[in-house]
Amino acid sequence: MGIHRTNRASGLLIELSEDGGSLYERLTSGIRAAIVAGRLAPGHLLPPSRVLAAELGCSRWVVNEAYTQLAAEGQLQTRQGSGTRVTTHPATRDPDRTPETGRAPAAPPVVADLRPGAPDVAAFPAPAWTRSLQHVLTTVEWEPSLFPPPAGAWRLREVVAAYLSRVRGLTVEADEVLITCGTSHGVSLVARVLAARGVPHLAVEDPGWPRLHQVAVAAGLPTEPVAVDAEGLDVEALRRTGAQAVLCAPAHQFPTGTALSPTRRLALLAWATQRTSVIIEDDYDAEFRYDRRPIGALAGLDRSRVVYLGSVSKTLHPGLRLGWMVPPPALRQPLLDALDSAGAGPSTLDQLTFARLADTGGYDRHLRRVRKVYRARRDALVTALGSHAVIRDCGPVLGIAAGLHLLVPLPPGLHDHMIAEHLAGRGIAAMALSGYATRRHAPALVIGYGRLTPTRAQWAAEQLAEVLLDLRP
């Protein structure tokens, strides 16, 4: 029976058999077995002979001889100045393992990522963020608490309350703000509370962002689709569902890009009042409106019926996992309890760093800068798409001049998922509208331009035009 010896410096796990062979032979076999089993992947850097010998309690000669033997077998490669690594040569594979059959060919590399929902993370204000983090770590009055309250760091709640009042027309106090890990986290918490209160299902926009629908279902709240048209959510269709809660994005619907019209906004609030229902407002990218000032949050019109959700996933970086929620007074305590019981909020350091960034004006400066960048990218893409007749003949791009995506109509008779597949074959990642909908819609592509530079917009439009010309009936 083998024994396991772990190098504490690198975490390298090596099984040394007890078959009576020399330590050199057992070490050679142990490393070889780790390579064959896949525990040591191609390119893995092995520890220096001195370090491994010290951890195993043997001489460097034993380790060097094992490395030399495995290098001669083609399992390892040793280069001066770069250490000893597992080779990428086929000899590292188990000769007794049969090759897999029927594996799909590897997809071509993505050279233009037009998938919606992500900002240009290269625009992240790293210097300002670093300065804010350093301030938090070195200034006594900003020192993070050891056990932050479930509602979130107080400084951040103050900053978010002031920001929402100033930018989104939502007048709230700091103690009314709850800090979350983002919109998905917020939807999960609300769905959990509503399901516990006996709400049978959640109405959702169709088409819509499937991730939020899945989160609600996982929290115990089934969803029911409601149509979206040129004015946004169809409130009359919502009434017919008998739903007691709805999830929607009034400022900029995804993926159609429409804004809920003033008439529909009032009708939606009237529905919530008449049915004593709850509206979950996903305000995911309202900071980016390019043709006019953004409209205020729906929650600013009626705090008693709307749960407001916001985050920094589009404005700063999705990886921060930082957002906020402003619930109606009647739901605040149940949601706070749900936050407390979940016990998994965002990093306190991230909360305070963002609070410091906003407090010093760094967040506003960042938004002004990237707003200009995204507007230029949208304008360049719209112009490029309009320069090709085969695209132009399908009609103008859809959606208000806002956010990080737009909707491109396609010729009737073509399936949008087929167009997306052909574009993927050219290294362009784009999403079909049908992937976000439960019912049939006119074919269209949902294109994100957050990471598409103006100089690449013309090339991307040319690729789409060529695909349409090849596939049109």
**Model pLDDT for residues 437-454, shown as the tens digit of each residue:** 999 899 999 999 999 999
What digits encode the pLDDT tens for the residues 10-32? 456 677 777 666 787 888 888 88
pLDDT at 34: 84
Answer whether residue 105 is part of any domain. no
Query: pLDDT-derived band of residue 7, with 50, 70 and 90 as boundaries?
Result: very low
Structural domain boundaries enclosing 252: 125-360
Residues 319 and 376 both lie in one domain: no
pLDDT of residue 278: 98
Question: What pLDDT does residue 105 have?
Answer: 57
Question: What CATH number is attached to the domain comprising 243?
Answer: 3.40.640.10
Paired tokens of 420: 């997306």
pLDDT digits (tens, 9 = 90+) for 212-237: 999 999 999 999 999 999 999 999 99
pTM of the predicted structure, to 2 decimals: 0.79
Find the mean pLDDT for residues 125-140: 96
**C-alpha pair distances (Å), 438 with each of 86, 261, 279, 405:** 48, 23, 21, 20
Pick from 360, 385, 407: which residue ends a domain?
360
Residue 330 and residue 209 share a domain: yes
Same domain, 154 and 256: yes
Instruction: Give the pLDDT confidence of 284-317 residue by residue, as tens digits.
Output: 999 999 998 888 999 999 999 999 999 999 999 9
- Considering the domain architecture, whether residues 72 and 14 belong to the same structural domain is answered as yes
Q: Tell me, yes or no, whether 411 and 440 share the same domain.
A: yes
Q: If pLDDT is split at 50, 70 and 90, which confidence band does 50 have?
A: confident
Calpha distance 362→323 (Å, rounded): 18
Structure confidence by residue, pLDDT tens digits, 363-418: 999 999 999 999 999 999 999 999 999 999 999 999 999 999 999 999 998 999 99
Q: In terms of DSSP bridges, do strands 405-409 and 278-282 run parallel, antiparallel, or are they unpaired?
A: unpaired
Angle at 116 between CA 450 and CA 472, to 5 degrees: 110
In this prediction, residue 97 carries a pLDDT of 44
pLDDT band for position 251 (cuts 50, 70, 90): very high
**Claim to verify: residue 73 and residue 132 sit in the same structural domain:** no
Q: How confident is the model at residue 92 (pLDDT cuts 50, 70, 90)?
A: very low
> What pLDDT does 337 receive?
95
Q: Give the count of domains, the chain.
A: 3
Asked if residue 344 and residue 371 are part of one domain, the reply reads no
pLDDT at residue 94, rounded to an integer? 45
Answer whether residue 104 is part of any domain: no
- Determine the pLDDT at residue 6: 47
Least confident of 75-79, 102-106, 148-152, 283-287: 102-106
> What's the pLDDT score for residue 19?
67
Domain shared by 314 and 404, yes or no: no
Which is higher by pLDDT, 63 or 132?
132
Q: Is the pLDDT of residue 2 over 70?
A: no
Give yes or no: residues 255 and 145 share one domain: yes
Provide the pLDDT confidence category of residue 43 given band limits of 50, 70 and 90: confident
What pLDDT is recorded for position 96? Answer: 46
Q: Are residues 307 and 352 in the same domain?
A: yes
Q: What is the CATH number of the domain that holds 448?
A: 3.90.1150.10
What's the whole-number mean pLDDT along residues 317-341? 96
Position 375 in a domain: yes
Same domain, 183 and 229: yes
The fraction of the chain above a pLDDT of 90, given in percent, is: 70
pLDDT of residue 144 exceeding 90: no
Phi/psi of residue 113, each to 5°?
-95, 100
Confidence of residue 81 (pLDDT cuts 50, 70, 90): low
Q: Which of 4-13, 40-49, 87-96, 274-283 has the highest mean pLDDT?
A: 274-283
pLDDT in tens, 153-212: 999 999 999 999 999 999 999 999 999 999 999 999 999 999 999 999 999 999 999 999
- Both 164 and 43 in a single domain? no
409 is written with which tokens? 């109509």
**Residue pair 469/419 in contact by the 8 Å Cβ criterion:** no
Mean of pLDDT values over 316-323: 95
pLDDT for the residue 16 = 76
Mean pLDDT of the 127-148 span: 90
